[in-house]
Structure formats: C-alpha cells, structure tokens
Amino acid sequence: MKIVDAKVIVTCPGRNFVTLRIVTDAGVHGLGDGTLNGREKAVVAYLEDHVIPCLIGRDPQRIEDIWQYLYKGAYWRRGPVTMTAIAAVDTALWDIKAKLAGLPLYQLLGGKSRDGLMAYSHANGRDVAETLDAVEAHLAVGYRAVRVQSGVPGLDKVYGIAPGGKAYEPAQKGLPQETIWSTEKYLDHVPRLFEKLRARVGFGPHLLHDVHHRLTPIEAARLGKALEPCRLFWMEDPTPAEDQEGFRLIRNHTVTPIAVGEVFNSVWDCKHLIENRLIDYIRATVVHAGGISHLRKIAALAELHQVRTGCHGATDLSPVCMGAALHFGIAVANFGIQEHMPHTAETDAVFPHDYRFENGFLLPGETPGHGVEIDEALAARYPYDPAYLPTARLEDGTVWSW
C-alpha cells in the first residue's frame, strides 16, 4: 500500500485551522490536525515544503517508522512547529489504519478503559457575580467539572474573559494585542472568588483554574496554599514550565494539585516533572505533542508515576484533534479529565464528526477511524485570516508571560 497524495487545507470558520489529508492507493484517506495558534503558516510550510514530498510512495501502515523518519530524519528535533507537523501526519495515519481495520480508533489502542471521558468546561465572567452565574449555567447543562476564570478588579483585559459576555476565544484578528498584568491584583482576587464559589455551589462539582504561566514559584505556592480550603481539582500552569525545578518549591508548600503541559511538545519536556512527582496532570495533547504515537509514550511514563492525563482542548485545537484525543482518552489507563471548549457552529459544519457530549462526559463515536471528516468545499469558503494570541506587560511596561 502507498501514500499517493497529501494536501494541507487551511480554513477559518471563525478561527484558523490547519488540516492534513493523506490519500492512499487503497481508496482510504486520513485526516490530521496541524493547527498551531498564531503560527499556522509555519506548520503549513513545514508540511508542504519538507514533509509531504517525503511521504509520497511510503507505506501508510508503517506509522512508527514514518514517525521516527520524520523525527530523526530532520536532524533538527522537537519544537512546536516540527512536532505539530509530525502530529498531523501521525494522526492521519492512525485514522487510515483504523479505517482499513474497519474499527473505531480506540479499538486499536487497546479498547475502552472507561465508558466516557469526564469533561471540564470554561465558565468566565467579567466580575464575581457574572462568574458565579456562569458556573451555575455550566453545571445546569451537566458538566461535573468547570474551569473558572474571572475579571480582576483594576485590570482591563484578563486571560479567559471575553469582552461583553461573548464566548471566549484566545486569538484575536490582526496583530497581537497588548494587555496589562498585575500579580498583586490577581492574587488578592482569586482566593476570594473561589471562596464565594464554594459557598454558592458547594463541594460537589470539580473546580479548576488556569494561572496561565503568570506567577513566580513562590507566588504560585502562596496561591496554591490560599486555595487549599476550596479544594481545586487543579491549578494549571502556575509558573512558566521552562523552570521545571521551580515546581519543587510550589510542591513543598501546597497540596493543591498541579496541571502542566499544554505548550509541551515531547516526552522530554515532561520527563523531569513526571519523574520527580512535581505535577499531577499532564496537559500535552495529540496535535502539539507528536500525535497519537508520541502521546501514548508520554502517558505511559506518566502512568508509572501516578500522573494522569488532562489533555488540552481549547478551540484552537480542531475537531480532528478532539476526535483523536477522545479515542486516546477512552483507551489510555491513566486518563484524568478532558478540556472541552465547544467549537462554533461554523467550525462544526466544516468538520462533521461523531463524538458527542452527554451528561458531563465526552464520547467518541463508533465510525471506523477517529470519526472526524472535513467538508472541503465548505472549508474553501472561509479563507485564512491572520489572528494572534495577546501579549502581556506589567503595569510598568515590562514584558511578562501571557
């Protein structure tokens, strides 16, 4: 069997997505997500100029061999662009293998380890009152776990909050926006928010929070300690993870569980944190961490250390990634939770899929493959529209982590 064609499809049904379609001479094709938010065109060029010419003529059934060839054969290893491109190929090849077998992908990964994937949604509000209402609305539609972000008094634009109560979307059209950050204002606000939240909703629902890389280790330790009475499911990205030993300091001070890794792209990013038991959940997902093949290795290392998965699932991960992540998550032994930020109706129409949300759980479908397709004619009606994540500065003008 041979790969006879491969094509990159870029579409913007509300936000930009990059999709790789691999076609075989067996009449079967596969899809992989290659979206890297704000750096989409770098992955497109990597795939079109450097990867696709090497794929034509190869046997699509040799998934691991092609993965190793693309990783080791480039000489320049790792990095978000490379690993996203490899992930697109790998996901498409798993889709093809499952279609050839006539099985939903999870069957090839060992079958179901659970009945469904507990999902967490995003509840946001410009102030405490609006945030409390948003959390209740999410619980009312069945979520058992909710990530809570709120506007901070004195700060104009805050991560996770949409202006005017609209659905939150991290990337904005045009060049990157600048936002102002104050650690002091944030640290004053968040513990009070969660106290009020627990008083309103009790301790039944799981509550999560994303610090989004803003704190130093000692500040994160203080936040984790302050939040202990509110028993969070996790505190995400408390400090930039390049400083991996910084997590030991946080760990020494608090039992608030820690989730890290949505920006990680290989097992080497995860190794120290996992082996030293500095985190509880690993957030790497299919599209940015080398596809199904590599994510399985990350999860296997995590399993040895009782670290569970918490795959990234924001809107910049296309339905193709979500479909693949759900097949992975239902099969893997150490699944923890799955992020769920529903796509727009336009995106769902461009990417017909058979996964679904029911009673707080996400469920992959039974269609052979990962169960997500692309309507190319519809996709062509939404051309690429540059959009970027914002940037952050402290109140004195110093560049900070967004």
Residue positions annotated with a catalytic role = 159, 212
Site for ligand EZ4 in 279-318 (CB under 6 A): 314, 316
Figure out which of the listed residues 19, 37, 124, 244 binds ligand EZ4, where binding follows CB under 6 A: 37
- Kindly report the CA angle at 266 between 260 and 267, in degrees rounded to 5? 80
- Under the binding rule (CB under 6 A), the answer on residue 33 touching ligand EZ4 is no
Q: Say how many residues touch ligand EZ4, by CB under 6 A.
A: 8
Beta bridge partners of 22: 6, 30
- Give the CA diameter of the chain: 62
Contact 312, 350 (CB under 8 A): no
Q: How far is the CB of 363 from ligand EZ4 (least distance, A)?
A: 21
Q: Choosing among Co ion, ligand EZ4, none, which partner's interface includes residue 314 (Cβ < 5 to 8 Å by kind)?
A: ligand EZ4
- How is residue 211 written in tokens? 């610090």
Using CB distances below 5 to 8 A depending on partner kind, what does residue 316 bind out of ligand EZ4, Co ion, none? ligand EZ4
Residues 323-352 that bind ligand EZ4 (CB under 6 A): none
Query: Nearest distance from residue 262's CB to Co ion, in Å?
Result: 5
Q: Please state at what angle helix 63-73 crosses helix 80-101, rounded to 10 degrees.
A: 170
Taking the complex as a whole, how short is the minimal distance between the CB of residue 231 and ligand EZ4, in angstroms? Answer: 20
Of the residues 40, 90, 95, 210, which one makes contact with ligand EZ4 according to CB under 6 A: 210
Q: Which is nearer to ligand EZ4, 93 or 211 (CB)?
A: 211
Tokens found for residue 130: 């609006």
262 binds ligand EZ4 (CB under 6 A): yes
Q: Binding of Co ion at residue 210 (CB under 5 A)?
A: yes
Structure-block tokens of residue 158: 């805050």
C-beta of 97 vs 212, nearer to ligand EZ4: 212
One DSSP character per residue, 65-77 reads HHHHHHHHHTSS-
**Residue 237 falls in which region: left (phi positive, over 0), alpha (psi -120 to 50) or beta:** left
Query: Tokens 């097949």 sit at which residue?
Result: 327
CB of 4 to ligand EZ4, least distance (A): 33
How far apart are the C-alpha atoms of 366 and 98, rounded to whole Å?
Answer: 11
CB of 316 to ligand EZ4, least distance (A): 4
Taking residues 156 to 195 in sequence order and writing x for each that binds ligand EZ4 by CB under 6 A, - otherwise, the string is --------------x-------------------------
By beta-carbon proximity to Co ion, the closer residue of 33 and 210 is: 210
Q: What is the DSSP string of 307-339?
A: -EEEE---TTS-HHHHHHHHHHHHH-TTEEEEE
Strand partners, 337: 310
HSE-CB at 194 with a 13 A cutoff on CA atoms is 29
How far apart are CB 354 and ligand EZ4 at their closest, in Å? 24
- Cβ burial 160-172 (10 Å sphere, 16+ → b, else e): bbeeeeeebbbbe
Q: Which two tokens stand for residue 45?
A: 């060029």
User: With CB under 5 A as the contact rule, which of the stretches 80-88, 190-198, 261-269, 354-362 interacts with Co ion?
Assistant: 261-269
Query: Which residues contact ligand EZ4 (rule: CB under 6 A)?
Result: 37, 170, 210, 212, 262, 314, 316, 389
Query: Which residues contact Co ion (rule: CB under 5 A)?
Result: 210, 262
